[in-house]
């Protein structure tokens, strides 16, 4: 399975940051994996222009579930597709916690993305307390089951496992813990999508760096990474991309 390496810039980046897209083009060349960058919304269209003709795709960090309407400040999946986005992240833990997004809301956004022709990256992950209580698998399974819309296929969806306690903290689960959760996610996908569930890419996210990327990519059912802070600089992000065997 061709791995997917995604870089989530979050609320970082002004026009000058587009130079990182150009630098990444030069550093990745003929990549052996799929590469997606998720800049802030203000840079998506310009990032698409800078990435044109390269191995880099561009995505957005969120979308609304409706096609249009009285939703001040929101952006629909169709609007994102119109400016050249090909992917969208939904259900990131920061959206779930700060904006109280429930699983059903995440599923509705993913369905909207699919209708617009976008690939959704659906995020799931447990908190530190939930892991300490031995509930990590239970929590991730429930989130996944509630966040996958009926229109999900291996071609329009990827899943990102991001333990909340590992995001931006420098903490990383053990290889055994990553393997256990990714195996559980694969099981849910196979239950829901049958054979197609074996083809959905499952990404790991949470303090991914060049120093640990190769070990993480070697774990069964880890089909790529959703990278945060380390994706802001082309040199760091390309080192992670280079770790793909």
Label the pairing between strands 4-8 and 224-227.
Answer: parallel
Using the 8-state DSSP alphabet, how is residue 118 labeled?
A: P
d(CA 232, CA 131): 29
Per-residue pLDDT of the chain (245 residues; tens, 9 = 90+): 899 999 999 999 999 999 999 999 999 877 899 999 999 999 999 999 999 999 999 999 999 999 999 999 999 999 999 999 999 999 999 999 999 999 999 999 999 999 999 999 999 999 999 999 999 999 999 999 999 999 999 999 999 999 999 998 889 899 999 999 999 999 999 999 999 999 999 999 999 999 999 999 999 999 999 999 999 999 999 999 999 96
User: Where are the domains positioned within the chain?
Assistant: 8-242
Return the active site residues.
92, 162
Domain spanning 8-242, CATH class = alpha beta
Contacting residues for 61 by C-beta, under 8 A, at least 6 apart:
8, 9, 10, 38, 40, 41, 88, 89, 92
d(CA 20, CA 56): 12
At residue 31, the pLDDT reads 83
| Cα dihedral sign, 130-135-140-145 | negative
Is the pTM here over 0.85, yes or no?
A: yes
């Amino acid at each position: 399975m061709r791995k997917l390496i995604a870089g989530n810039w979050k609320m970082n980046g002004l026009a000058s940051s587009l130079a990182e897209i150009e630098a990444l083009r030069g550093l990745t060349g003929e990549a052996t994996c799929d590469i997606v960058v998720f800049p802030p919304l203000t840079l998506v269209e310009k990032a698409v222009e800078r990435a044109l003709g390269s191995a880099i795709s561009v995505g957005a960090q969120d979308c609304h579930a409706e096609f249009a309407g009285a939703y001040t400040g929101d952006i629909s999946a169709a609007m994102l597709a119109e400016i050249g986005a090909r992917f969208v992240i939904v259900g990131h833990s920061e959206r779930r916690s700060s904006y109280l997004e429930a699983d059903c809301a995440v599923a509705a956004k993913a369905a909207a993305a699919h209708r617009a022709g976008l690939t959704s990256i659906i995020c799931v992950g447990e908190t530190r307390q939930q892991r300490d209580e031995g509930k990590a698998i239970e929590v991730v399974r429930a989130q996944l089951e509630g966040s996958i819309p009926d229109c999900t296929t291996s071609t329009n969806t990827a899943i990102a496992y991001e333990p909340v306690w590992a995001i931006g903290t420098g903490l990383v689960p053990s290889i055994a813990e990553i393997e256990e959760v990714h195996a559980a996610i694969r099981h849910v996908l196979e239950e829901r999508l049958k054979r197609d569930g074996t083809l959905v890419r499952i990404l790991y996210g949470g303090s991914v760096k060049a120093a640990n990327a190769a070990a993480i990519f070697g774990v069964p059912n880890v089909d790529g990474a959703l990278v945060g802070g380390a994706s802001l600089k082309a040199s760091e992000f390309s080192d992670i991309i280079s770790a793909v065997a």
